[in-house]
Amino acid sequence: MPINTNYRVYDSFSQGDRRLFSMILRFCLEIQNNLIEKSKSGKEIPSWECHTMARLVHLAYPSTIVTDGRMVGFKRIEMFSKPGEPEGELVPSMSAEFSVPRTTLRMFTCAHSWLKTPDGNIIDVYPCGIYAIGPIMVTADDTYGHFGANQYQELAEAKGQFDEEGSLSTAKKLLEIAGITYPVV
């Protein structure tokens, strides 16, 4: 009988991490709704990004750890070599003379901030390249890490790539505008 891998991923999170994620998910939706309502009534809302949101949620849930680093992503690129020639240099080309395709992946990274849970999993409150109505939880489990947590690279030098003080200040201002006191728990 095949085993649904979603259960394995679910089971890779501790009950405490699942509970924390549920609270953070509700909190992020509440913040979003409060800020939308304030905006509709004419209140100016500062813009934010992942660095701000990670710090905002950490203020409310101090058991999390703000982590700065790089998010790893890949782009599939079709490379071509001349037919009949030994595998040598592959070139990205759509020319007819280069007709033997080889697929390769090119790695890209971007500065990113996320939260670590008490059990070492990741809660990404502002995921890159994903449309989500709230945060996502990413397993650090070795079985699925290459699809999840290994895409998050913690780097101390990443802090210098954005305005950390400005992000924290904006996070506090957003909580104030939304009328939410912290820490929540």
pLDDT at 85 exceeding the cut of 50: yes
Q: What percent of the chain has pLDDT over 90?
A: 49
Cα–Cα distance, 139 to 148 (Å, whole number): 6
pLDDT at 73 exceeding the cut of 60: yes
Could you please report the per-residue DSSP string of 106-132?
Answer: EEEEEEEEEEE-TTS-EEESS-TT---
pLDDT at residue 87 in the model? 58
Mean pLDDT of 136-148: 84
Encode pLDDT of 95-109 as tens digits: 444 445 567 778 888
Cα–Cα distance, 147 to 131 (Å, whole number): 18
Domain positions in the chain are: 14-73+109-178
Cα–Cα distance, 3 to 8 (Å, whole number): 8
Strands 100-116 and 122-124: antiparallel
Average predicted confidence (pLDDT) for the chain = 84
Q: How confident is the model at residue 3 (pLDDT cuts 50, 70, 90)?
A: low
pLDDT at residue 114 in the model? 96
Decide if 104 contacts 87 (C-beta within 8 A).
no
pLDDT at 1 exceeding the cut of 50: no
Q: How confident is the model at residue 132 (pLDDT cuts 50, 70, 90)?
A: confident
Q: What percent of the chain has pLDDT over 70?
A: 82
Cα–Cα distance, 70 to 112 (Å, whole number): 5
Of the candidate ranges 25-39, 48-62, 150-164, the one whose mean pLDDT is the lowest = 150-164
- Encode burial over 144-172: b for 16+ CB neighbours within 10 A, e otherwise: beeebbebbeeeeebeeebebeebbebbe
Record the pTM: 0.80
Decide if 145 contacts 44 (C-beta within 8 A).
no
Cα–Cα distance, 21 to 72 (Å, whole number): 23
pLDDT at residue 141 in the model? 85
What is the DSSP-derived secondary structure letter of residue 146? G
Q: Which residue has the higher pLDDT, 64 or 156?
A: 64
